[in-house]
Amino acid sequence: MNRWLLPEDIADVLPSEARKVEALRRSILDLYQSYGYELVAPPILEFLDSLLTGTGSDLNLQTFKLVDQLSGRTLGLRADMTPQVARIDAHLLNREGVTRLCYAGSIAHARTPVGSAAREELQIGAEIYGCASWEADFEAITLLLSTLNVAGIHKVYLDFSHAGVLEGILDGQNISKEDIELIYGLLQSKDRTRLASWAQCLPPESAQALMTLTELNGSCTEVLAQAQKILPKHSLIDEALSQLDCLATAAAGFSKELELSIDLADLRGYQYHSGVMFAAYVDQLPQPIARGGRYDHVGQAFGRARPATGFSLDLLSLAHLAPQWVRRPAIVAPWINDVTLTRKITELRHTGEVVIQAMPDDAVETAEYLCNRELVKKGDSWEVKQK
């Protein structure tokens, strides 16, 4: 075996792509700062019981596990940063008012996610804590769309759902955690045959409503009108549909290139989210470029109930979709012991120029920089000349 081979679905990021990733990271974090978000950097490893608090079994399956040689306890290599940020808000910051936090860091998946080609991601995202109203969800959606705009992506398909609809349908039913996970999978795959078979244990009205969810997808106006007419009258369902209506109406004015839809069976992350959920799609990818939504129960699992909403995305995927960036111009300088030359190079670098000093017998070949100028000595000074 070649020692330099990487594990399956793990890859290096080469110079030109790495520059795009880093430039996007800086621009996006600057965008978040302009909205008042504060940057946090959780550790990549945590004790497993803390890392998975309030997240359900779906994240557990994606988490690499190892034993801490110091304590003997099981550690987890994070597969998602959102629970960590919720822990920071609940225990370390411990604020009473609205808190806005953002983050960027590596995550790893034990299994390659469906529709993805990588088990390692550079996750970037933003979260709002302490605000239970739909306006916080709308700010998260606005910030997500602005994030995609920073990367040059303007044609976006935004799909809404709401965990409260299923919660209202199943309210009062004694359903195990395992069955909840089964329902989630059947709704996600829209497996009506198996869903109908399982729903026989429910009252007829609840069973029919569960089956109806697989058909309630399409334009926001049509789906909401159908849902209000067909779904049972329940306070959780009514509230969910009202929130979706507010968000869809507000988001419609963001951009003419934004297309909105609702899929009430798209409950990916049901164990994780507690309210509105949204996914952003682009033409170049079969899977969502970003996902987000409300997850009030995660903070509660840490012992401090805090309304929470936000989103995250993979910066590596975003950089791959971003327009190809041009090579950056550079100046070539000789590598000699000359005080005047050193001073000139320092001045140029302070102004933002890239100056590459050529080693002996070095032709300065680089795919990242366009070496179209050089420093030449003219009398007692050094000047920049076109090559």
Cα–Cα distance between 269 and 321 in angstroms, integer? 25
Q: What is the mean pLDDT of the chain?
A: 91
Report pLDDT digits (tens) over 125-169: 999 999 999 999 999 999 999 999 999 999 999 999 999 999 999
**Residue indicated by tokens 């940020």:** 85
Report pLDDT digits (tens) over 203-236: 999 999 999 999 999 999 999 999 999 999 999 9
pTM over 0.75: yes
pLDDT score of 57 more than 70: no
- At 269 the pLDDT is 59
pLDDT score of 375 more than 80: yes
268 is in an annotated binding site: yes
- At 363 the pLDDT is 77
pLDDT score of 108 more than 90: yes
Report pLDDT digits (tens) over 81-102: 998 999 999 888 988 899 999 9
If you average pLDDT over residues 15-44, what whole number do you get?
A: 95
49 is in an annotated binding site: no
81 is in an annotated binding site: yes
Report pLDDT digits (tens) over 317-357: 999 998 877 888 999 999 998 999 999 999 999 999 999 99
pLDDT score of 301 more than 80: no
80 is in an annotated binding site: yes
pLDDT score of 62 more than 60: yes
If you average pLDDT over residues 266-286, what whole number do you get?
A: 84
82 is in an annotated binding site: yes
> In this prediction, what percent of the chain has a pLDDT beyond 90?
67
Cα–Cα distance between 169 and 136 in angstroms, integer? 25
